[in-house]
A and B are shown apart, each in its own frame.
Chain A
Amino acid sequence: MVNAQLPITTTPKYNFPLPQETLHPLELPKHFTKLSLLSLKPTQQKQRLSTKDTATQLPTHLRLQQSISSTELFPLTPNPIDTTIVAIDVSSIRLGETETGFLLGVRGAIVWKESKQYRYLRLGPFPFHITQRTEDEIRRLYRQDHPISRLQVRSIPQVYIIQSRLTTLLERWMQSFIIRTTRNSIILWDGSLAVDTTETPASTIKELLTAAHNNGNIILAFSKMTRLSLHGRRLTDLIFKHPPPCLLRIKEHINHFGQIRLMGNVYVAKFTKGKLAFRMDADKRRSSIEVVEAVQNLLGNDSILQSYPETLRLAHIFSTFTATEVLALQRCITQKSGLRVITTLNLRRLLFGRFGKTQKGC
């Protein structure tokens, strides 16, 4: 047994995250709130925001078709040794169009699983009115030497990806906050460690991974299986031959693909029986043995439903918007700013779409 030989580290008792100098838990919400209020301020200038292509899905998922060289399988045994699990997720939703732009809601959630208990912290929702002016404002803020700006985008965002930028802004901050305030824990992210460098500089992610490492944390990023194939065979088929729980390491040749930089190693995770498997990215600097150990601790500490860790699922649920929340946000915006929503939402999609999520992870 692999586990038996590994050194057992005692997990420190969890305390609610302590603020660091640069990242007070309320600092970003405050900052976000300011930005949000600013965006909702009535404006004389009726400049229309070009909203075309706003729904463009960002290519955060890697296409690996050409690059896979080989795979390695790791059968897993859940290890119940007490380990804290923290999951982070952020959602954003388009609330409708206005005369000059569109309305957006952003919310983040952190869920802890610790001593068999779940606990959450939600930030938001934050309403935004995305107009030319907001864009300018964000541009201006990004140029300032604000402590969080180091975690921000490098390039000036284009109008049509502001939604994604705001979401990422909140997400990176929350990730950074958790990494720096948590020790010896498994930190679950939604998405992958392949970063779009137009959105987040590779150095930012590197910094986050290093900070995590220094605090004894390991980051595991989960995303839906991309259609990976190896020598003409789907990876899903490869992993389904093996009894769960197991992990399949995929070895690639390259570490960037256009604007996308691979900051982690790619695994396929199949934790339970059934048809579902997920892609899981882990820090490149972590050996497969370390990753396997972490995943075994995850399996021993979290409930797993359809190959997906419950803590991450909860973070997802806590951050996504229900149809009621969409209505409530619209109402809140109308009251705060007098803005009227022109295009009504497709509530059907909200209701029947996966938790009403439009941006990430789907």
Chain B
Amino acid sequence: MRLYKKEGATVQIISFPNEQVRKGDYLAIEDSKHGDNLIVQVIDMEYANIPGILEELLRNYDGDSSIAGEDVDPFDVAAHIRYIQDARLLICKIRASTHNGKLIPAGSHLPARSYARIRSVSVNELLTRPDGAEGYEIRLGETAEKTHLDVDVRALDGALNIITGKKGTGKSHIAKLLVLSLISHGAPVVIFDLNGEYIGLGQDTEGKPNEFSSKIHVLTPRQNFKVTLEQVKIHVLLNILVNALHLPGTSAREFRRIWHSLEQNGTLTMGELGEAIKNWRCNQHVRDALFSRYYTLLNSRLFTDNPALATSLENALDRARSGGAIVLNLRNESTTNRHIVVEYVLGKLVELLTTRRLRAIFLFAEEAHLYLRETYWDDIVTRMRHFGVFTTFITNQPDTIRENIYRQVDNLFVLNFTNEHDIDPISRAARVDAHTVKSIVRDLLPHHCLVLGKVVNDFPMIVKIKSLDVQAMGQTRLFFPVRICALTP
């Protein structure tokens, strides 16, 4: 390999056919005279712009009217021609420098083109972890060099993460991997499981309980997840009424009065609530508005007046406190019900966090735009994060996540996207340049993920995510028994 050109943070390197280089690989450009090395990453490959190549190709064109012939080439110059024709230009981004073997941020040092040596760098050279990192590793999978990629679980602590990629590329799989890793390191996790994909986390691929089975607590609304009005705080219920059920402000004020009166009488039940709305002295429009919401709540069958049938989220979270996950199975739930459940859970989490009953919680949200109201987005990355809600968003529509979330993201797991347009919002993330994301992501193989951010010391890496011995669930239901093979990218 030879250093060819440097333009800003981009370095171009000529690589010859006998040198094995892949997109995503790291290279060190070594300047032995100064002891300074540049660490660059290959983000794209092109044909080297060999002069006269077009002429060469045209001349040797083997078309219908091709000219048969014979070459007496005693010096086998043809082999050298092929060698040159197959030379590639590696487009690389500067990621760091090293000075006397220590990693430092990339400086302005320009290695000498004439004598700079270029060698491959193994990713584990870049992920040097501080002392005391033992016991905090989680295995994501393996790198292109077929070495294990272990990252520090603490890089997820306090972090905002995004997992994205087109449908079926393994987003939920990565989320599950992260969930199980967090659990095994003693962290509590809550999952908004839109498609019921996480409910099998406690079972192995054969459906038998696995090592996590006692730590996975699946809550399915209306079945094992019901609440009493007592459990729901007035501000949470108002949030539900106003945000999920669009109750107008005047009616909401009236509702608050009704609530207080029931509270004072110690009759905070769904039955009493209905009676109270019926008899409450108020404008007929207000009463109608309240009644329609009341029936929605009633029909949601999420509420019970029987404390024995009610679920204590507090208790469930207590159990998860030293490692466990609560899976809120939102599959088969109406949009309204999803909203109600999410409002309730988030309200409860903030309550428990502010009262310090919970230290912190890792929240996994699949396709959050389907149940998270607008105002929550900012809340989650600012206020809630401050309280200790560390969220991982999972989506196949990156544009449903707002730009300010991308800007604050700590870790980004990007799987394959074929449509460049989809990648635009991701490439705005502050952690990496757009060129890197676009170039690498469109070529990612199945189960391969571009990992960006803190977990990888801000060295973007391509990882083949390891498989998991859990029930996959959530596979798309099909009519025909066997799916035809589609071309994978």
Which A residues are closer than 8 A to B by beta carbons?
25-26, 29-30, 32-33, 36, 111, 117-127, 314, 317-318, 322-329, 331-332, 335-336, 347, 350-351, 356
- Chain B residues lying within 8 Å of A32, measured Cβ to Cβ, are 74
User: Top 8 A-B pairs ranked by shortest CB distance?
Assistant: A323-B52, A120-B69, A328-B80, A323-B51, A322-B52, A328-B81, A33-B74, A118-B67
Are B74 and A322 closer than 8 Å at their CB atoms?
no
Known: A33-B75, A127-B75, A331-B80. A324 touches B69 (CB 8 A): no
Are B74 and A29 closer than 8 Å at their CB atoms?
yes
Are A36 and B80 closer than 8 Å at their CB atoms?
no
What DSSP secondary structure best describes chain B's contact surface? mixed
Q: 12 A–B contact pairs at CB < 8 A?
A: A29-B72, A29-B74, A33-B74, A33-B75, A117-B68, A120-B68, A120-B69, A324-B84, A327-B51, A327-B80, A328-B83, A331-B84
Which B residues are closer than 8 A to A by beta carbons?
50-53, 55-56, 59, 67-78, 80-81, 83-85
Known: A122-B72, A125-B75, A126-B75. A350 touches B52 (CB 8 A): yes
Are B52 and A123 closer than 8 Å at their CB atoms?
no
- Measured between alpha carbons, how far is A59 from B74 in the docked complex, in Å? 32
Are B74 and A126 closer than 8 Å at their CB atoms?
yes
- Chain B residues lying within 8 Å of A328, measured Cβ to Cβ, are 77-78, 80-81, 83-84
| Inter-chain contact total with CB atoms closer than 8 Å | 94
- Chain A residues lying within 8 Å of B74, measured Cβ to Cβ, are 29-30, 32-33, 124, 126
Known: A118-B67, A351-B52. A325 touches B77 (CB 8 A): yes
- Measured between alpha carbons, how far is A102 from B53 in the docked complex, in Å? 25
Are A323 and B50 closer than 8 Å at their CB atoms?
yes
Known: A328-B83, A356-B52. A125 touches B69 (CB 8 A): no
Can you name the residue of chain A whose Cβ is closest to the Cβ of B55? A322
- Chain A residues lying within 8 Å of B68, measured Cβ to Cβ, are 117-120
- Chain B residues lying within 8 Å of A126, measured Cβ to Cβ, are 74-75
What DSSP secondary structure best describes chain A's contact surface? helix
- Measured between alpha carbons, how far is A122 from B77 in the docked complex, in Å? 12
- Measured between alpha carbons, how far is A4 from B98 in the docked complex, in Å? 85
- Chain B residues lying within 8 Å of A326, measured Cβ to Cβ, are 52
Are B85 and A324 closer than 8 Å at their CB atoms?
yes
Can you name the residue of chain B whose Cβ is closest to the Cβ of A121? B70
Can you name the residue of chain A whose Cβ is closest to the Cβ of B67? A118
- Chain B residues lying within 8 Å of A118, measured Cβ to Cβ, are 67-68
Are A332 and B77 closer than 8 Å at their CB atoms?
yes
Known: A314-B67, A322-B59, A332-B77. A327 touches B72 (CB 8 A): no
Q: Which of A30, A122, A327 contacts B73 (CB 8 A)?
A: A122
CB of A60, distance to nearest CB on chain B (Å): 26
- Measured between alpha carbons, how far is A117 from B74 in the docked complex, in Å? 26
- Taking each of A124, A326, A336, which has the highest tally of chain B beta carbons within 10 Å of its own beta carbon? A124
- Measured between alpha carbons, how far is A326 from B85 in the docked complex, in Å? 12
Given A323-B52, A329-B80, output 18 extra A-B contacts at Cβ < 8 Å.
Answer: A25-B72, A29-B72, A118-B67, A120-B67, A120-B69, A122-B72, A124-B74, A124-B77, A125-B77, A322-B56, A324-B81, A324-B85, A325-B52, A327-B50, A327-B51, A331-B84, A332-B76, A351-B51
CB of A57, distance to nearest CB on chain B (Å): 23
Are B69 and A317 closer than 8 Å at their CB atoms?
no
- Measured between alpha carbons, how far is A350 from B76 in the docked complex, in Å? 22
Known: A127-B75, A332-B77, A332-B80. A324 touches B53 (CB 8 A): yes
Are A119 and B69 closer than 8 Å at their CB atoms?
yes
Are B75 and A325 closer than 8 Å at their CB atoms?
no
CB of A181, distance to nearest CB on chain B (Å): 15
- Measured between alpha carbons, how far is A100 from B78 in the docked complex, in Å? 27
Are B72 and A317 closer than 8 Å at their CB atoms?
no
- Measured between alpha carbons, how far is A331 from B83 in the docked complex, in Å? 10
